[in-house]
Amino acid sequence: MSKSTQDYVNCDVKNVWHHLTLHQGNAPMIVTEGKGLYIKDINGKEYLDATSGGVWCVNVGYGRERIANAVAEQLKKLPFYAASCGTLPGIDFSEKLLSLMPGMSRVYISNSGSEANEKAYKMVRQISQLKHGGKKYKIIYRNRDYHGTTITTLSSCGQEERREHYGPFTPGFVEFPACLEYRSPYPEGTPDLGEKFARELETVVQKEDPDTVGAVILEPITAGGGIIVPPDGYFETISEICRKYGLLLIIDEVVCGLGRTGKWFGYQHFNVKPDIVTMAKGVASAYMPISCTVTTEEVFNDLQAGGDKLGYFRDISTFGGCVAAPAAALENIKIIEEENLLENVTAMGDYLQEGLRGLLSHPNVGDVRGKGLLQGIEFVEDKASKKHLPEEKVIAICGAMAKRGVIVGRTNRSFAGRNNIINVAPAYTISRSEVDVIVKTMDEAIREVLG
């Protein structure tokens, strides 16, 4: 006999260990199906999912038969072979991906964003061993950025609430300040703000001793840490500092990669040449788990330098050999190209930001910021003090939106007492009328919760 809805709810509560929940306080949501931008829960209620799967990854929307068919065909032909060998989808996907990333040269496939970043860190450490006598081992990360959930990626996490309770951490990771203009320590109207924020990296590198620093890792636009677009000139100065001190620049495109901000990669908005680029969530629009660590030819060669026994990258990821994943990723890229989705991300992103800016008339909406379909709304107690609106109220706004059939995300378990930012990141196919629904629903929810 099949389970009733209530049986499923009971079983879920009893047996399933949920990850960070998006809307605490509500009964557990059980999602059963999706089509385009919409999902249905176990009670048949439909929602416009403005989170692309809760964590910004079902970028081309739900129900894409082309991807499902590509996966099914590949599984029938060859489901798996260890990635120490080549496979046809792996070859085709890597060639296509590199064509979207001028200057980048080699694709290393694994499964998750955390894993892709771990590979990047291992590369930095190995190059330090092979070229710098092990001295250039430190990796600098930025406050508010997130790079993953393993102990070592948490060692490079700029969100204190995510790190709490998991130390001691891997040595050799050092933080430098975030570049959030809305809460800038510099006076309003400070010229060259981007450069000033970036110089904070130089201060830390000098303090640590440049001979001991091997790399810096940055999200191109901070995502989970509150949607932070760096001010003009930021990345140019970061690049200059990297060149000056011989640092590898790792760009974490786990959220922004594959079109989320209107270009194939977030770093392509800026004048910057990364040495290593990592990506995950949207690589196959989450139809299959796949992540990539992409390097320049120079990084690839440096891993083979020295002629000693470490002269190759000693890393293997079993599920990097799941062949249907690159097949899904290739189909995903074709969909984005054929449906001109980058153009839609830019146009709808601008329209969404304009709509959300209309909400700045609320006394508690302090800032609206973002790029493409990655937009954030920062809530405050009042605009003068910019004191963070208590988290319970932000949760209540999300809940009031969900009640009206629209799901949005928020900074969650990131900054104790400062989780005050709602994010909106729908699938790339969104239309103007659907943007209108999101903005109108948020307006109503703010009024309901905050009066």
Ligand X SMILES: Cc1ncc(COP(=O)(O)O)c(C=O)c1O
CB 225 within 8 A of CB 178: yes
Residue 223 found at the interface with ligand X (CB under 6 A): yes
Residue 209 is which amino acid?
Answer: D
Instruction: Name the burial class of residue 388, with classes exposed (0-12), middle (13-18) and buried (19+) by CB atoms within 10 angstroms of its CB.
Output: buried
Range in contact with ligand X (rule: CB under 6 A) among 69-77, 147-155, 165-173, 267-275: 147-155
Give the interface segment with ligand X, choosing from 85-93, 143-151, 341-349, 391-399 (CB under 6 A).
143-151
Question: Does 221 interact with ligand X (rule: CB under 6 A)?
Answer: no
Q: Does 149 bind ligand X (CB under 6 A)?
A: yes
Q: CB-wise, 254 or 292, nearer to ligand X?
A: 254
**From the CB of residue 130, how many other CB atoms can be counted at a distance below 10 Å?**
18
For residue 48, the minimal CB distance to ligand X (Å) is: 22
The reply to whether 285 sits near ligand X by the rule CB under 6 A is no
Number of residues that bind ligand X (CB under 6 A): 16
Residue closer to ligand X by CB (options 400, 422) is 422
- Using CB under 6 A as the binding rule, the residues of this chain from 394 to 433 that contact ligand X are none
- CA angle (343 as vertex; 98, 193 as ends), nearest 5: 80
Which residue lies nearer to ligand X by CB, 255 or 408? Answer: 255
Give the number of other Cβ atoms within 10 Å of residue 271's Cβ.
10
Decide if residue 303 touches ligand X (CB under 6 A): no
Nearer to ligand X among residue 29 and residue 223 (C-beta): 223
Region binding ligand X by CB under 6 A among candidate stretches 119-127, 145-153, 157-165, 365-373? 145-153
Rule CB under 6 A: which of 51-80 touch ligand X?
55
The one segment of 108-116, 124-132, 201-209, 353-361 that binds ligand X by CB under 6 A? 108-116
Residue 325 and residue 284 in contact, taking contact as beta carbons nearer than 8 Å? yes
Quick check: 146 binds ligand X (CB under 6 A)?
yes
The pair of three-digit structure tokens given for residue 295, joined into one six-digit string? 């390097």
Q: How far is the CB of 114 from ligand X (least distance, A)?
A: 3
Task: Tell me the closest approach of the beta carbon of residue 434 to ligand X, in angstroms.
Answer: 24
Out of 178, 242, 249, 255, the residue judged to bind ligand X by CB under 6 A? 255
Residues that bind ligand X (CB under 6 A): 55, 112-114, 117, 146-149, 219, 223-224, 252, 254-255, 280
